[in-house]
Amino acid sequence: MFKTRLEDAARAARSHLHAAIDPAGALSAPMRYATSGGKGLRAFLVLEGARLHGMCDTRALWPAAAIEAIHAYSLVHDDMPCMDDDDLRRGLPTVHKKWDEATAVLVGDALQTLAFELLTHEDVGDARVALVASLARDAGQLGMVHGQALDIAAETAETPLTLEQITELQAGKTGALIRWSGEAGAVLAGADSGPLKDYATALGLAFQIADDILDVEGDASAVGKAVGKDADAGKATFVSLLGLDQAKTRAKELVDQACDALSPYGADADTLREAARFVIQRDR
């Protein structure tokens, strides 16, 4: 059930997003390229949260496509030489490698602004302002961008980050967009987003710990990008601070915590529970 819904969500959100990329635009080809792969986990979380609250896809696909646009923009910029300097993303050349650095900057800019345009569509209804404001916050100066800035600063810090500092960094860099995705369905319905916020907060941290584990144990051909970079750079990660076994234990604890947060929804949230387990079992 989960894998089918994940694939369906990724496909639907990608199609919706690509339909919003005007072919007359000078950046239409690299924008489509940057948004053509990936698991679609964030779109899935939006659509599943909306489903729990009786929202139809006609409304939910707009925020689902918007978060995929924001996520893709963050990856395009993160891959650039001035940041994480990656040549591969999802097994393919990164945007700055396939085109050039200036194009990559502009593609990221265009995808970011497109996300907010999508959220203002009339089909989104009365939740438009709330979704725009929350995404601006979670993607911005104290959210995802904040986490990215902390990550860059950590690369030249004289002493490695502590566990508390790594947790703060990842709560922004990775966790903020996952948290927004988890909450969006409830916000769309004008319902209490507390349980889904708790679920997505735990999920986001588990996701990052799993990423750190993949950087140690993963196969580059499966992951779709270089592995072992964090260790080579001497960066502090959950694995370097906790050890591999304890990092795996902590990730599982977070998954259990995420699943417990869904108790108000009963069996209706079983697909979201499967998603939480998937996050620490994936190979990419």
More confident residue, 256 or 230: 256
* Confidence at residue 155, expressed as pLDDT on a 0 to 100 scale: 86
Residue-range domain boundaries for the chain: 2-279
Mean pLDDT in residue range 155-170: 92
Query: What CATH architecture does domain 2-279 belong to?
Result: Orthogonal Bundle (1.10)
Residue 167 has pLDDT above 90, yes or no: yes
pLDDT at position 235? 76
Answer yes or no: are the C-beta atoms of 219 and 247 closer than 8 Å.
no
pLDDT tens per residue across span 94-136 = 999 999 999 999 999 999 999 999 999 999 999 999 999 999 9
Q: Which two tokens stand for residue 244?
A: 């591999």
C-alpha distances (whole Å) from 233 to each of 129, 230, 237 are: 41, 5, 11
User: Which tens digit of pLDDT belongs to each residue from 218-250?
Assistant: 666 555 555 556 655 667 899 999 999 999 999
Which residues pair with residue 93 across a beta bridge?
A: 88
Which among 104, 117, 100, 123 has a CA at the least distance from the CA of 34? Answer: 104
Going by C-beta distance under 8 Å and a sequence separation of 6 or more, which residues neighbour residue 199? 182, 258, 259, 261, 262, 272, 276
Taking the C-alpha atoms of residue 69 and residue 252, their distance in angstroms, rounded to an integer, is 29
φ/ψ of 26, rounded to 5, equals: -65, -20
The pTM score is 0.94
